Structure 1
Amino acid sequence: LEGNVSGRLGASSSAHARLAAEMNALDPARRKFLGDETPTPVQRGAGEQPALLDKPPMHPAPVYPRRLMAKTRVSYEYSEAEDKSIRLGLFLIVCGIVSLFILCFCWLSPTLQSMQSKPANCTVISVRRLEERFECVFTCGADCKGTSLYPCLQIFVNNSESNSIALLHYDEQQLVLNPKCSYVPKCERDNQKMREDVIRLQHYWSEEGSNQTFTCFFNPQRRPDDVLWQRSHDASVLLHCVLWPMVSLLVGTLIVLLTVCARSLAVRAEAIQKRKFS
Structure 2
Amino acid sequence: MFFVAGAKNSGGGGGARGNERGSFYKKFREVDLLDKKNTETALKPGEDRAILLGLGMILSSVMMYFVLGITTLRSYADSVWTEEGVCLVLNSTVTTNMNCSYSCGSDCWRVSKYPCLQVYVSINSTGRVSRLFHNEETQDASTECFYVPRCQRDSLAMHSMIINISERLKVNQQVPCFHDPLELQDAVLLTRLYDNSVVFHSLLWPSCMLTGGAMIILMVKLTQYLSRLCDEIGKIKK
Q: TM-score, normalised by structure 2?
A: 0.69
Alpha-carbon distance in structure 2 between the residues aligned to 1:142 and 1:269: 69
Trace 1:68-79 onto structure 2 (pairs within 5 A): 79=44
Aligned to 2:85: 120
How high is the sequence identity, in percent, across the aligned residues? 29
Trace 1:16-165 onto structure 2 (pairs within 5 A): 79-114=44-79, 116-135=81-100, 137-139=101-103, 146-165=110-129
Kept in 2: contact 1:111–1:237 (CA 8 A): no
Give the structure with the larger helix fraction.
2
Kept in 1: contact 2:118–2:146 (CA 8 A): yes
Q: Cα–Cα, structure 1 residues 272 and 224, in superposed 2: closer, same or farther, change >3 Å? A: closer
Aligned to 1:192: 156
Are residues 1:177 and 2:138 paired?
Answer: no
Could you tell me which of 209, 212, 224 is aligned with 1:248? 209
One-letter amino acid of the counterpart of residue 188, structure 2 = V
Q: Secondary structure at the match of 2:158?
A: helix
Deviations, residues 160-191 of structure 1 (Å, cap 9, x unaligned): 23322211111222222222111112321212
Query: Which deviates more from structure 2 when the two are superposed, residues 234-243 or residues 263-272?
Result: 263-272
Q: Secondary structure at the match of 2:193?
A: coil
Deviations, residues 5-29 of structure 1 (Å, cap 9, x unaligned): xxxxxxxxxxxxxxxxxxxxxxxxx
Kept in 2: contact 1:148–1:191 (CA 8 A): yes
Aligned to 1:235: 196
Kept in 2: contact 1:124–1:158 (CA 8 A): yes
Kept in 1: contact 2:134–2:191 (CA 8 A): yes
Aligned to 1:218: 179
Q: CA deviation at 1:91?
A: 0.7
Kept in 1: contact 2:80–2:180 (CA 8 A): no
Q: Cα–Cα, structure 1 residues 237 and 127, in superposed 2: closer, same or farther, change >3 Å? A: closer
Larger radius of gyration: 1
Alpha-carbon distance in structure 1 between the residues aligned to 2:205 and 2:69: 12
Alpha-carbon distance in structure 2 between the residues aligned to 1:196 and 1:117: 32
Q: TM-score, normalised by structure 1?
A: 0.61
Q: CA deviation at 1:223?
A: 5.0
Structure 1 unmatched ranges of 5 or more? 1-73
